[in-house]
Amino acid sequence: MNNSKQDILNNLIKEPFINQRILAAQTGHSLGIVNRSIKELISEGYLDEEIRPTEKTLREAKEKAPKNAIILAAGFGMRMVPINTETPKGLLEIKGERLIERTIRQLHEVGITEIYVVVGFMKEQYEYLIDEYGVELIVAPDYVSKNNLHSLKTAAAHLSNSYIIPCDIWCEKNPYSRNELYSWYMVSDLVDDDSTVRVNRKQELVVQKEQAGGNAMIGICYLLETEAEIVRERLEELGRDSRYDGAFWEETLYRKDRMIVTARVVHAADAVEINTYEQLREIDSDSSQLQTDAIQVICEALGAQQNEVTNITVLKKGMTNRSFLFSCKDKKYIMRIPGEGTDQLINRRQEAAVYQTIAGRRICDEIAYINPENGYKITEYLEGARVCDAENEEDLQKCMKKLREFHGQKLRVDHSFDLFGQMEYYESLWEGTPSAYKDYEKTKAHVLQLKDYIEANAGEWVLTHIDAVPDNFLFVEENGKEEIRLIDWEYAGMQDPHVDIAMFCIYSLYKKEQVDHLIDLYFEGNCDDRTRIKIYCYIAVCGLLWSNWCEYKRKLGVEFGEYSLRQYRYAKDYYKIVQQELGEEGKETCTK
């Protein structure tokens, strides 16, 4: 049975037949298709001569009727900045109604009460749905590092005659039904350059060529058991393949050049995906969520009205913070909002003091606003800026020159960054939980043995960046001349400036020959042996420092992959390198 006949039959199950023209209007099919389909459905035993559904039809409708719904609500919703720092996407309000509540009520209207909500980010905020709507929450353990293919995999056991629904969809009309006769995936009639599929004449969803534009993918889907079984198997198969860690669940629907389900096309206005602050403002300019703390700060800091804050787009999520780009009064800015657990990691008053010290020295980016209490920061956007390429010789030479000149100013602040103290502090944040590394205590003991050598060879303490990594060196054009700005001074304080060299190396995941080359660039080929060995010591210490930092962040649900593993490795490898370099002296120094 083709889709047009199924659409017509499904309509007749829900509403009695009046005439062909009304049926054509209700189903969206032409009068000719309706007339032909009715004749065929009668001959096939699905309709009687009075154009009423037969027992055969009612049995099939019962077998294919929706049993449940799975709502995907685990992700960060990063494109929703700054709202996503306060509210998960599914709880956005449009016209006084939360997105996920509207979806649940629409499901209830058609008798679907078995509803599973897959949660992750801000999962606690969804807990009330259990009592108010009788839903079941399923926690996606990998929501931080993996995409919604893995979220759906956690609910795969429930997939059978199921609706799959993103939490960020606003449907003007109820798209769900008590009866579904075939599996479908919803797209709109809007052309979207980011879409990977288009609808052909047979209502199939075929893979679209790159940059050709296709039908906007809404994401709502209905799966009968036949297709659900295929999806379950594909979720299991792809879920074992790390190449699909960042994949959307729709990957399971593709077979060669098309989806295994048919298209359900709706008007663009009938189903809207709310991905950004701007989209929310467009659909409901009075939404209470538009009055976020971040937007209010921007308005006060820049003397602007809310409607003057435009073109809000997310920037790449950093290790510590979330940042977004916006326009205001014909200028572009970046706003930083501290990420999870940063109140435990960073003293914002000290950071503000650093910015006050370096202000006007053309060292950093231009600060329009900084709050020493909560860490909110607004900086002017540097148009055309690029970060240092840690593999580019010319970039390295320029960055080390900039770093050397900054250290040479011998600036001072009233606080220091204690490497060993911070290492112990980050460990204390584990709250008694043992390290993930089985030989951590041994590694830590080795690193602590380097303290005496460091103190005996430390240079004059000056203001040190601490996080002087390639990504924090910005190359910008100013008045036809290339300048370098050093950004992100959250950890800065008084310290041996050579710590910055070590930090650059370990963030870049350098091998020893690259480490030595960077040291030579900074010292212009004049680094003495004891200073070089001291920098090796710093690499070991800083490796364990950031390894401990990563372990704390992992306990908050933030994972850094290879970076965290390599930092721990630096602690072990460079302790050994120091021993080898010092020879007999090293054995004595490192066993005190």
Give 190-201 pLDDT, tens digit per residue. 888 878 889 888
Nearest alpha carbon to residue 464 among 505, 497, 488, 487: 497
Round to whole Å and give the CA distance between 19 and 15: 12
pLDDT for position 556 = 73
Q: At what angle do helices 3-14 and 55-64 cross, to 10 degrees?
A: 100
More confident position, 290 or 408 = 408
Residues 6+ apart with CB under 8 A from 539: 502, 505, 506, 515, 570, 574
Nearest alpha carbon to residue 499 among 529, 536, 452, 554: 536
Token match 């593999």: residue?
391
Round to whole Å and give the CA distance between 487 and 473: 7
Strand order in the sheet with 386-387: 386-387, 473-478, 481-486
Q: At what angle do helices 499-507 and 529-555 cross, to 10 degrees?
A: 60
Nearest alpha carbon to residue 307 among 286, 336, 323: 286
What tens digit of pLDDT does each residue of 535-552 get? 999 999 999 999 999 898
Round to whole Å and give the CA distance between 301 and 322: 19
Give me the half-sphere count of Cα atoms (radius 13 Å) on the Cβ side of residue 551: 26
Q: At what angle do helices 393-408 and 512-522 cross, to 10 degrees?
A: 50
Q: Give the pTM.
A: 0.60
What tens digit of pLDDT does each residue of 346-374 get? 888 999 999 999 998 889 988 888 988 88
Residue type at position 51? I
Round to whole Å and give the CA distance between 106 and 102: 6
Distances (CA, A) of 29 to 23, 25, 33, 35: 8, 7, 6, 10
What is the 8-class DSSP label of residue 361? T
Is-contact 477 384, C-beta < 8 A?
yes
Mean pLDDT of 382-395: 93
- Cα 156 to chain centroid, rounded: 23
How far separated are the first and last CA of the chain, in Å rounded? 83
Mean pLDDT of 342-346: 68
DSSP letter for each residue of 493-515? EEE-TTHHHHHHHHHTT--HHHH
Instruction: Mark 121-133 as b/e (b = at least 16 C-beta within 10 Å).
Output: bbbeebeebeeeb
Is-contact 458 534, C-beta < 8 A?
yes
What is the 8-class DSSP label of residue 365? P
Topology (CATH) of 3-63:
Arc Repressor Mutant, subunit A (1.10.10)
Round to whole Å and give the CA distance between 324 and 334: 6
pLDDT for position 371 = 87
pLDDT over 60 at 590, yes or no: no
Nearest alpha carbon to residue 39 among 64, 9, 3: 9
pLDDT for position 254 = 94
Mean pLDDT of 556-581: 89
Token match 């703390």: residue?
293
pLDDT for position 298 = 86
State the pLDDT confidence band at 324, using cuts at 50, 70 and 90: confident
Round to whole Å and give the CA distance between 244 and 237: 10
For the chain, the maximum distance between any two Cα atoms, rounded to a whole number of angstroms, is 102
Nearest alpha carbon to residue 307 among 298, 317, 320, 318: 298
Round to whole Å and give the CA distance between 178 and 61: 9
**Strands 68-73, 162-166: pairing kind:** parallel
What residues form DSSP beta bridges with 367? 379
pLDDT for position 7 = 82
Please count the other Cβ atoms lying within 10 Å of the Cβ belonging to residue 314: 20
Mean pLDDT of 105-128: 94
Round to whole Å and give the CA distance between 323 and 202: 44
pLDDT for position 584 = 60
pLDDT over 60 at 285, yes or no: no
CATH number belonging to domain 385-589: 3.90.1200.10
Delimit the domains of the chain by residue range.
3-63, 65-273, 292-381, 385-589
Distances (CA, A) of 60 to 63, 185, 525: 5, 21, 82
Token match 């009304």: residue?
22
Least confident piece of the model among 223-227, 257-261, 312-316, 576-580 = 312-316
pLDDT for position 6 = 83
Round to whole Å and give the CA distance between 339 and 318: 9
Please count the other Cβ atoms lying within 10 Å of the Cβ belonging to residue 592: 8
Token pair for 280:
């929310």
Is-contact 187 208, C-beta < 8 A?
no
Please count the other Cβ atoms lying within 10 Å of the Cβ belonging to residue 356: 13
Given CATH 3.30.200.20, say whether it is the number of domain 292-381: yes
Residue type at position 286? D
CATH says 65-273 is which class? alpha beta
Peptide bond into 82 cis (omega under 30): yes
Nearest alpha carbon to residue 14 among 176, 168, 195: 176
Round to whole Å and give the CA distance between 79 and 98: 18
pLDDT for position 592 = 46
pLDDT for position 277 = 60
pLDDT over 80 at 561, yes or no: no
What is the SS3 assignment for 338? strand
Round to whole Å and give the CA distance between 72 and 156: 12
